[in-house]
Amino acid sequence: MKSIVILISGRGSNMQAILEAKLPVKIAAVISSNPNAVGLETARQHCIPAHVLNHRDHETREEFDTALAAKIDEFNPDLVVLAGFMRILTQGFVHRYNGRLINIHPSLLPAFTGLNTHARALAEGVKIHGCTVHFVTPNLDKGPIIVQAAVPVLPGDTEETLGARVLEQEHKIYPQAIRWFAEGRLTVTPDGNVILHDQQTVDMALISPWEAQ
Ligand code: GRF
């Protein structure tokens, strides 16, 4: 069975969705960069070893990432899962876990890389928003896309209501992506596209705004 390590910094709701999805993987450890992360307690409630590696105890990004890699490697995971891990990772770290480091981002990439994605989506007036699970490469939020979920932007939406609608989908697609990885069904092509093997294709569309005829 493949094993994973999950990195968090805060609330940990994606981590919780992964723990509760009963995936065919061993969750070897949860590591938090923040000693006060709520997710640490959630992990412990699920009997998952939860560790803290406080980024404030390290002077440079390089030092922190070296310590982080050493901690991760104690568990020898097949996959490292960033779940609300609020640190920009060094190139060395990303290269070390090439092809086995994934992230969830709260937008339909390549739109809205970076922070405050829901507020920016509202400001731009987009009608469809969503979330993306992708492999991590040195270019922030630019790695090969594994899966995306789209939601409508509804009249009267605020950052909070839109964010909650997106988060609900995050909790579905992140466990799904890990399941596919565990099943060995993901391949990254040389030009950086992800193939899902043995896929049951469905042709569907989300149209927004939509009115019943
Ligand atoms: C999520 O919105 C995720 O997309 C982003 O950070 C947030 C983490 O939330 N990367 P949680 O800690 O998983 O609840």
Q: pLDDT tens digits, residue range 146-192?
A: 999 999 999 999 999 999 999 999 999 999 999 999 999 999 999 99
Cβ(162) to ligand 1 under 6 A? no
pLDDT at residue 212, as a whole number: 87
68 occurs within a structural domain: yes
Cα dist from 210 to 84, 128, 167, 168, whole Å: 32, 11, 22, 21
Task: Return the amino acid letter for 143.
Answer: G
d(CA 148, CA 109): 8
What is the DSSP code (8-state) at residue 56? Answer: G
55 occurs within a structural domain: yes
Summarised one tens digit per residue, pLDDT across range 4-20 is: 999 999 999 999 999 99
201 occurs within a structural domain: no
Q: Which residue has the tokens 């994605």?
A: 117
pTM of the model: 0.97
Q: Could you list the residue range(s) of the whole structural domain that residue 180 is in?
A: 2-196
Domain with residue 139: its CATH number is 3.40.50.170
202 occurs within a structural domain: no
Which ligand 1 atom is nearest residue 8's CA?
Answer: 12
How many domains would you assign to the chain? 1
32 occurs within a structural domain: yes
Residue with CA closest to ligand 1 atom 8: 84
203 occurs within a structural domain: no
User: Which residues are CB-neighbours of 50 under 8 A, at least 6 positions away?
Assistant: 29, 30, 31, 32, 40, 41, 43, 44
What is the distance in A from the centroid of ligand 1 to the CA of 82? 9
Q: Alpha helix locations (H) across the chain?
A: 13-20, 38-45, 61-73, 91-96, 117-124, 159-182
207 occurs within a structural domain: no
Contact status, residue 33 vs residue 9, Cβ threshold 8 Å: yes
